Amino acid sequence: MKIVKVVCGIIYFQDKILLARRKEGKSMASKWEFPGGKVETNELEIEALQRELLEEFGMEVIVKEKFANNIHDYGTISINLIAYSCDFISATFKLTDHDAYAWVSPVALHTYDLAAADIPFVALINQS
């Protein structure tokens, strides 16, 4: 099975982290996730993350360092989810693939119904 490379941002603002809820009609509808998207052919991971955040949220961030990655098999697709630590700069929050967003304290992340591939990052965030 082909593994799709996906990037996401662990985006910090005032000691909180951004989560976004996938809207109805999308795969994993109503699941919360760390925002990001697929890496296109010949695209650098950081470029993909910046592009996806701009397209889906009207957001600018400072991408800092690679945080962690997780390979997850959803049955019909496997993804290599690569997370980067980011600092929030600004956003219009024009939502395209999501219907809600929330700034969440790290200790409360586990209370959200997260997409399976994102779940392992919660423990790592709270260890760092």
Given a cut of 90, is residue 26 above it in pLDDT? no
Given a cut of 80, is residue 89 above it in pLDDT? yes
CA distance 46 to 51: 9
pLDDT for the residue numbered 19:
98
Mean predicted confidence (pLDDT) in 30-50:
97
pLDDT for the residue numbered 81:
98
Per-residue 3-state assignment (H helix, E strand, C coil) for the chain: CCEEEEEEEEEEECCEEEEEEECCCCCCCCCEECCEEECCCCCCHHHHHHHHHHHHHCEEEEEEEEEEEEEEECCCCEEEEEEEEEEEEEECCCCCCEEEEEEECHHHHHHCCECCCCHHHHHHHHHC
Given a cut of 80, is residue 128 above it in pLDDT? no
CA distance 10 to 65: 10
pLDDT for the residue numbered 93:
93
Given a cut of 90, is residue 64 above it in pLDDT? yes
Its pTM stands at: 0.94
Percent of the chain topping pLDDT 90: 88
Q: In the structure, what pLDDT confidence band is assigned to residue 110 with cuts at 50, 70 and 90? A: very high
- The CATH superfamily label for domain 3-127 reads Nucleoside Triphosphate Pyrophosphohydrolase (3.90.79.10)
